[in-house]
Amino acid sequence: MNAMTVSPDGRTAAILAKARSGRRLTPQEALILAEDAPIHELCAAAMTARIARHGHNAYFVRNIHINFTNVCVNACRFCAFSKRRGEPGAYTASVADVVAELTRRRDETIREIHVVGGLNPELPLEYYLELLRAIARERPESGIKAFTAVEVAHLADVRGESDAAILSALKEAGLLMLPGGGAEVFSPALRQRLCPEKISGERWLAIHATAHGLGIPTNATLLFGHIESWADRVEHLAALRDLQDKTGGFVCFIPLAYQPANNSLGAKGPDGLTVLRLMAVSRLFLDNVPHLKAYWAMLGVKAAQMALWAGADDFDGTIVKERIGHAAGADSPSGLTLDALRQAIEAAGMVPVERTADFRPVNPSPDSSR
């Protein structure tokens, strides 16, 4: 059976009915839906789950991305952002540089400051702590979502300290949340082909579990549309769901579409149907993760609008200048105005609801059920 089938067979129909009733899907059932369910029925089931949680609300945030360095000791095959030390185009921002950029935007409301970078061996833990403190001093009203599990592991290994000690120090300096980057795909075999220098999927999960135990909420991601299979994707989702059952610390899941330009991997990237299938399956399978993001910066605005009808409820934000996806050829804008964000959400038939960095509505919608 394929995506052009008009109606599902008995097995797929039964799984869709189970999903619509809110009962938990097994990984095998999720894989059957991903591979065989007709796209309209699959998205309709995901939309039922989305409306039960969020009505027609679609959340957005006034945010800014700070990519403080592109120098990285890893050499991920899918990455077009990172540079080696001394390579043309390599850069590292000083703490003063970052503060100056925030000062320049003093008159703008910024609710979320997203900070990630490469693994620059010249930057000590003290740089990261001072960066957090300086951002918190300059923008005390903004929530700081910073440093992937990969960066936490790098700092812990360089310092010879535990992941928990690093996370505690970052939290004390002003960290609110961890972003979900660095998860890529958990399959060990695929990680050997994609990012052999990067920490394992098990270490990524362990760092997020530690963060949750310290009261630091986190996001989670999956890089898709390269050399992974549907079985790999579902296995990844299952690992996230299992950890969430134990800790409850994941706030949002973000499928990240692989960008095919300017990197050595040579994969094509996902098509539109794959995007919608993954969104829908993620919403149905991750029954314990509150939010699902249609990350317009990597999907493109039009695909992100469609994803809002396949289970996604978050559209991300203004971003100002996204670097990582665009280095790999993303053809979306590098940032959106508030008006453009609201218009995109409303054009998709949803209700724009502004949120904070930790996903609390700023002004709850008076009509989220239409």
Q: Read off the CATH number of the domain in which 182 is found.
A: 3.20.20.70
Task: Using a cut of 0.85, tell me whether the model's pTM lies above it.
Answer: yes
pLDDT confidence of residue 117: 94
| Cα gap 240→289, rounded to integer Å | 9
For residue 120, being part of any structural domain is answered with: no
For residue 156, being part of any structural domain is answered with: yes
Count: domains in the chain: 1
pLDDT confidence of residue 77: 76
For residue 90, being part of any structural domain is answered with: no
Token reading at 88: 């043309």
Dihedral sign computed on CA atoms, order 51, 55, 56, 61: negative
Spatial neighbors of 311 by CB under 8 A, at least 6 apart, are 43, 46, 47, 49, 50, 279, 280, 282, 283, 284, 292
pLDDT confidence of residue 266: 77
Domain range enclosing 261: 24-62+148-354
- How would you list the strands of the sheet with 351-354, edge to edge? 314-317, 57-61, 351-354
For residue 97, being part of any structural domain is answered with: no
Within 13 A of 236's CA, how many CA atoms are on the CB side? 30
Spatial neighbors of 256 by CB under 8 A, at least 6 apart, are 181, 221, 222, 223, 224, 295, 298, 325
**Of residues 132, 117, 114, 116, the one with CA closest to residue 73:** 117
pLDDT confidence of residue 139: 96
Q: What are phi and psi of 259, to 5 degrees?
A: -105, 125
For residue 296, being part of any structural domain is answered with: yes
For residue 49, being part of any structural domain is answered with: yes
- Average confidence (pLDDT) per 10 residues, the chain, 370 residues: 51 95 97 97 97 97 94 77 76 95 92 95 96 97 97 97 98 98 96 91 98 98 96 98 98 93 78 97 98 94 97 92 42 70 96 96 60
For residue 229, being part of any structural domain is answered with: yes
pLDDT confidence of residue 80: 67
pLDDT confidence of residue 329: 39
For residue 208, being part of any structural domain is answered with: yes
